[in-house]
Amino acid sequence: MSAREKYETLVAYLTSIESCVVAFSGGLDSTLLLRAAKDALGDRVTAVTVSTPYMPRWEIQEARIIAAGMGIVHKLLDMPLMEDMRFNPPDRCYHCKKQLFTVLKEDAKKSGVRVVLDGTNADDLQDYRPGLKALKELGILSPLMTQGLTKEDIRSISREIGLPNWNKGSGACLLSRMPYNHEITLHRLQMIEQAEHYLMEMGFKYVRIRSDGIVARIEVGREERKKFFDEEFLDAVSKTLKDIGYIYVAFELEGYRMGSMNRELPVRKS
């Protein structure tokens, strides 16, 4: 099935919904879902972005721009850091999504909307995703996953239909950069955000700063690693990140790997 046919199947699936709210992060997955919902339901779609202390500010701005470009009503809701997540537990995604989608459902209900959509895709089932349990408990629909769309499918379809962020790297909240069972502070989150934004401005597409607050371990895309093979560049990066507040700056030799902090978790038996 071609990218266009897969997209048409997704849109057809969504036409059975009367109206919906799309949990919109501005990332690739939720952007495709929002566009499909718009094509299926017209103005019966609302994009809602939940702003948390662990969501990069630039992602919120991108979400606003993309939603406006589609002509879709966009709402921004604030959500503080939950006490249950203060020390970054391994199941933090469960607590986060339970709170986040409870807020979304309550807001949707006020507007007379019963259906809330989430951008989880089929590949997400292959990683440690405790947040999926919360989605199931709350009755949130994940059409991309239901229709079996992988990340590769989503990127191909997004390029085919001309979405502005079709080549955007995978996103994740800033908590995924910190070790499990370490205290989360706003200052540490701001340091990570500032350091990643600096490297993105330097032209890196895939960037993660994994950090315990003292050490900044840089991960970039495997094909981008060669940019660090320059002494002046290394010195400039080290100085900038230390000026941000890090004491040590390190480089992950194997490059960016999604969910690399999950290596700390015990091996799960199937």
Rounded distance, CA 123 to CA 208, Å?
Answer: 20
* 114 and 185 housed in the same domain: no
Q: Which of 71, 5, 68, 61 is nearest to 38 (CA)?
A: 71
pLDDT for res 266: 64
Structure token digits, residue 169? 């790297």
Q: What residue numbers bound the domain in which 123 lies?
A: 3-160
126: confidence class by pLDDT, cuts 50, 70, 90: confident
Q: With contact defined as beta carbons under 8 Å apart, do 111 and 94 qualify?
A: no
* 190 and 143 housed in the same domain: no
Is 169 part of a structural domain of the chain? Answer: no
Q: With contact defined as beta carbons under 8 Å apart, do 41 and 16 qualify?
A: no
Judge whether residue 125 has pLDDT over 50.
yes
Rounded distance, CA 34 to CA 26, Å?
Answer: 9
* 149 and 184 housed in the same domain: no
Average pLDDT (156-169) is 89
* 251 and 190 housed in the same domain: yes
Q: Cβ neighbours of residue 140 under 8 Å, at least 6 residues apart?
A: 23, 101, 105, 116, 117, 118
43 exposure class (CB count in 10 Å sphere: 0-12, 13-18, 19+): exposed
First to last CA, the chain: 31
167: confidence class by pLDDT, cuts 50, 70, 90: confident
pLDDT for res 103: 95
What's the pTM? 0.87
| Among candidate residues 130, 160, 190, the one where a domain is terminated | 160
Structure token digits, residue 6? 């897969």
DSSP string, 163-198: -TTTTPPP---GGGGS-TTS---HHHHHHHHHHHHH
Average pLDDT (226-248) is 97
Q: Which of 71, 67, 56 is nearest to 189 (CA)?
A: 56
If one compares 170 and 80, the residue with the highest pLDDT of the two is 80
**251 pairs with which residues across the strands?**
218
CATH number at residue 12: 3.40.50.620
Rounded distance, CA 189 to CA 54, Å?
Answer: 6
* 137 and 193 housed in the same domain: no
CATH number at residue 190: 3.30.70
Q: What ranges make up the beta strands (E) of the chain?
A: 20-23, 45-51, 73-78, 115-117, 207-211, 215-220, 248-251
Q: What is the pLDDT of residues 89-107, one digit of tens each?
A: 999 999 999 999 999 999 9
Judge whether residue 269 has pLDDT over 70.
no
* 237 and 106 housed in the same domain: no
* 183 and 145 housed in the same domain: no
Judge whether residue 150 has pLDDT over 80.
yes
pLDDT for res 263: 67
Judge whether residue 265 has pLDDT over 70.
no
